[in-house]
Structure 1
Amino acid sequence: MSELEIDAIVFDVLGTLVDEPAGIRAGIRALDPSLDDPRIEQLSLLWQQHIAREQRRILDGGRPYLTSDVLDREVARLVADAAGIDEPTAVAALALSGRQLPPWPDTVAGLARLAERFPLIGLSNASRTALLGLNSHAGLRWHQALSAEDARTYKPDPAVYRLAVTASGRPAERLLMVATHAWDLRAAQGLGLRTAYVTRPVGDPPTSSDRFDLHADDLADLADQLDRA
């Protein structure tokens, strides 16, 4: 890789900075406190699979674009039905679980440290409204937060990454995309962004053929590497 010269950092949010599965599990547990852990895991997996499948259908043109808010309401109803719950207020609360995700232990301090040196841009598949709530709940610090809703598509569509390039006013190669999802980094790399993989328990690890600029254990490690770079 050529020398790493960065003007701004672009962060994936879901999974990279917040523990999405933990937040969804908490929402399901609140839906029905009598559910045991294995059943909660099953319903959480149902949630994740439905969202991934429907976003892929939208990307493939099999379904018109819908915001993450719509998909969350849809999957909340699906999960509630599977759990045998038919209480509209409880289902509505479950649909908001995606806005109440806990940050990883290093996230808040790591962002604060990186923000001392670089403009930080959040880039998420979450809708504008969901991203606002998520940022507030998790205490995320941004100079700008961008939603895929502005491109009316979802990552890994290149149009989403172009939002960050346009907002930064910098060449793509001067931006560092940080994510725990290798697929996310590959897509950003395809548009010319530099890339940093951060290890998380819920991530999509790189394969032997991936060539990312940085690999970090957490945001503190990422900041250390950028200091040295």
Structure 2
Amino acid sequence: MSKLEIDAVVFDVLGTLVDEPAGIRAGIRELDPSLDNSRIEQFLSLWQQHIDREQRRILDGVRAYLTSDVLDLEAARLVADSAAVAALALSGRRLPPWRDTVAGLDRLAQRFPLIGLSNASRTALLGLNAHVGLRWHQALSAEDARTYKPDPAVYQLAVTVSGQSPERLLMVAAHAWDLRGAQGLGLRTAYIARPVGDPPTASDRFDLSADDLADLADKLVKAHR
């Protein structure tokens, strides 16, 4: 690949900067502290399967666009009784960061403009940032494109806001499918290993691979010397 010359770094949020399953688990456990771990995992699986399925239906044009807030509310109805649904649906705004996230973003922000690019709604991103204190210079929601990643229209949001050509942007994600979507629009890519991510296949070719954000920062500094 050509030399990595980057003018801005674009971050996936859910799973990459924050531990989404842990936040949903905590919400389910708070809902009913008597649940054992296996039951919590069953409910978490129901939640995740619903979100994945409905986002795919929207991408395929089977269902009209709905924000992540609406999909979270639907998922919560599969898990909670009517009195607790609204509270559980807000679990997606109280997700814990990975231990390297805050310091890693602060370090990277000293060298690059940082853009958050998420399938989460604008409202969810606001709540999440208030909860975690993520460092970015611009947060973009797929809601602005009225679709979900990996639709190219979502990545185009970052290209437009940055004012740079796609190859001057580095998309960072723990999900190989997300990075493939970014590559389709010409963005450079960096895979971050997370326990809840989607690891690369043997055929994937990303510009960088890092253990965490500190490792990514080290590699970007080296690439720009």
> In structure 1, what is the equivalent of residue 177 of structure 2?
183
SS in 2 for 1:132: helix
What is residue 55 of structure 1 aligned with on the other side?
55
Per-residue CA distance 1:32-84 (angstroms, 9 max, x = gap): 1110011001100110010000000000011110000111111101111xxxx
Distance 1:87 1:35 in 2: 18
Residues 1:226 and 2:214 aligned together: no
Match of 1:149 in 2: 143
SS state at 1:79 partner? coil
Following the alignment from structure 2 to structure 1, what is the Cα–Cα distance between the partners of residues 82 and 90? 15
Q: Secondary structure at the match of 2:79?
A: helix
**Across the two proteins, how many residue pairs are aligned to each other?**
223
Letter in 1 for 2:72: D
CA separation in 2, counterparts of 1:68 and 1:211? 30
> Aligned match of 2:161 in 156, 167, 191?
167
- Matching residue of 1:33: 33
Q: 1:114 aligns to what? A: 108
Cα separation, 2, equivalents of 1:197 and 1:55:
22
In 2, the alpha carbon distance for the partners of 1:109 and 1:72 equals: 29
- Answering whether residue 12 of structure 2 is matched by residue 18 of structure 1, we say no
Partner of 1:83: none
> Per-residue deviation at 1:139?
1.4
For structure 2, the residue ranges without an aligned partner over 5 or more in a row are none
Amino acid across the alignment from 2:28: I
1:75 maps to 2:57:
no
In the alignment, what sits opposite 1:217?
Answer: 211
Distance between the aligned counterparts of 1:19 and 1:138, measured in 2?
11
| Preserved CA contact (<8 Å) 1:176 1:193 | yes
Q: Show the counterpart of 1:126.
A: 120
Question: What CA distance in whole angstroms lies between the structure 1 residues aligned with 2:135 and 2:178?
Answer: 21
- State the 1:87 CA deviation: 4.6
Q: d(CA) in 2 for partners of 1:117 and 1:99?
A: 28
Tell me, in whole angstroms, the C-alpha distance in 2 between the residues paired with 1:224 and 1:36: 41
Moved over 6 A (4+): none
Aligned partners of 1:51 and 1:71 also within 8 Å: yes
SS in 1 for 2:29: helix
Give the TM-score, by structure 1 length. Answer: 0.96
The residue matched to 2:87 in structure 1 has which SS? helix
Quote how far apart the aligned CAs of 1:92 are: 1.0
2:188 matched residue in structure 1: 194
Report deviation, 1:155: 0.3
Task: Give the CA deviation at 1:91.
Answer: 1.6
Q: CA RMSD in A?
A: 0.6
Q: Which amino acid aligns with 1:98?
A: G
Please give the alpha-carbon distance, in whole angstroms, between the structure 1 residues aligned to 2:62 and 2:32.
Answer: 33
Q: 1:111: Cα distance to partner? A: 0.1
1:100 correspondence with 2:94:
yes
> What amino acid sits opposite 2:24 in the alignment?
I
Query: How far apart, CA to CA, are the structure 1 residues paired with 2:31 and 2:76?
Result: 10
Cα distance per residue 1:2-51 (max 9 Å; x no partner):
00000000000000000000000000001111100110011001100100
Match of 1:134, SS state, is helix
- Could you tell me how far apart the structure 1 residues matched to 2:141 and 2:196 are? 21
- Residue 207 of structure 1 aligns to a residue whose secondary structure is coil
Letter in 1 for 2:34: S
